[in-house]
Amino acid sequence: MHTHKESTILGGLDDIIQHLEDSLLTISTISGSQFVAPIRQTVQDWEHKLLLTQETLDEWLAVQRAWLYLESIFSAQDIARQLPEESKLFNEVDKFWKGTLTIG
């Protein structure tokens, strides 16, 4: 987590993403083993959890990239004057986003 202006953003995730990918590779290897039968359900549950974590992280980062891009646009006063309705909508989303990222 990093501080960005008045909110917190995800950052420095390279190690986490690498561990997640390594874990997915490991669970895939285990899943393909001829000895997996007794623990197949547990392996499938973990694979589902890891894939869901990866998907959630990917989506979160995509939303964060879009938010950071739009924030720089709509923080400009001339844009707010030229696009008052869009600026108002962005400010509502911005307030929600910052509230979502608030820790504690």
Tell me the residue type at 92. Answer: E
The residue segments making up the domain with residue 59 are 2-101
The confidence band for 104, taking pLDDT boundaries of 50, 70 and 90, is low
Q: How much of the chain, in percent, has pLDDT values that exceed 70? A: 89
Structurally, how many domains does the chain consist of? Answer: 1
Stated pTM of the model: 0.75
Q: Give the integer Cα–Cα distance in Å for 8 and 21.
A: 25
Average pLDDT of every residue of the chain = 88
Question: Which domain CATH number covers 85?
Answer: 1.20.140.100
Q: Which tokens hold the place of 65?
A: 């990239």
Per-residue pLDDT averaged across 24-37, rounded?
Answer: 96
Q: Which tokens hold the place of 72?
A: 């720089």
The confidence band for 20, taking pLDDT boundaries of 50, 70 and 90, is very high
* pLDDT at position 45: 98
Give residue-wise pLDDT tens across range 62-87: 988 998 899 889 889 999 899 999 99
